[in-house]
Amino acid sequence: MHADPSRRATPATSVPTATRWIRRPQPRPAARLRLFCLPHAGGTPALFKHWPPLLPEWIEPLMVCLPGRENRFDEPLPEDIPALVAQLAGAVRPWLDRPWALFGHSMGATLAYELTQTLVAQGGPMPEHLVVSARIPPQRHRGGDLHRRDDDALCARLIALGGTPPELLSRPEFRAVVLPAIREDYRLIETYRPDLERAPLPCPLTVFRGRDDADLDAEAAGAWSCCTSADFRIESFPGGHFYLSDKPGVVVARLGALLAS
């Protein structure tokens, strides 16, 4: 185990400013570690809105905001995930002046994995930990055509997953605002073609999952083990695909303990 992380010296380097890609809801310039949080398809940094006050002071949360949402509403998503990750890598790189880790939920887990692979391949500093949540590993990836189907089919999928109140999805004005970004995200993830020839990541990898999540059972979660040559574990929580929204305090406490070790 490491010594108390809050007692570690922090680098005396200049701190980047928040950008359209990176939201910094609670600046902690003396934090020892930066934690990048990547949301699900159609998701925004609001998925993690309860996290900053729950995280220990030695962790600075940085929320990733993709094109097509919030104040990036008019920005189109790139053609595919490699193009998106290339842009995201450029946005993240200035923040890697101290230890860092990633937490990605659902589609965000795929992006976090691909981002880690890209940054490591570019010779960047190794993350202390990669935490993937509610997502099958690359070698289990399945394509799909939901992004080509009508709004009712897309809404039915969102309702099945949870996380979006059905009463909101019944409102035409709400659909008009949120469905375009969700559809584009599904296009990205459904047309994703992982490179299965890459070497396992040399950093610890942990899977977070809801015990009732039909999209990621325990066996599929275990298949992530081949994506790392370092420590691997699975952490399970009560709930379904959006287990992390049910009891964020429990999830964040487990995450903090994991990053401390």
- 149-152-157-161 Cα dihedral, nearest 10 degrees: 150
For position 21, what pLDDT does the model report? Answer: 95
* Contact assessment for residue 200 and residue 223, using Cβ atoms and an 8 Å cutoff: no
For position 139, what pLDDT does the model report? Answer: 95
**Which parts of 113-231 are beta strand (E)?**
129-133, 205-210
Q: Is 245 a catalytic residue?
A: no
115-172 tens-digit pLDDT: 999 999 999 899 999 999 999 999 999 888 888 888 899 899 888 888 788 888 889 8
**Which parts of 138-218 are beta strand (E)?**
205-210
Tell me: pLDDT of 12 over 60. no
Residue of 6, 14, 106, 236 marked active site: 106
Mean pLDDT of 186-190: 93
Those residues whose C-beta lies under 8 Å from the C-beta of residue 236, and which sit 6 or more positions away, are 208, 209, 210, 211, 218, 221
Domains of the chain: 22-141+200-260 (3.40.50.1820)
For position 3, what pLDDT does the model report? Answer: 40
What are the φ and ψ backbone dihedral angles of 209, each rounded to 5 degrees?
-150, 155
Nearest one of 110, 47, 48 to 82, comparing CA atoms: 110
> How high does pLDDT run on average in the chain?
91
Confidence of residue 4 (pLDDT cuts 50, 70, 90): very low
Beta bridge pairs of residue 105: 133
Q: What is the pTM of this model?
A: 0.90
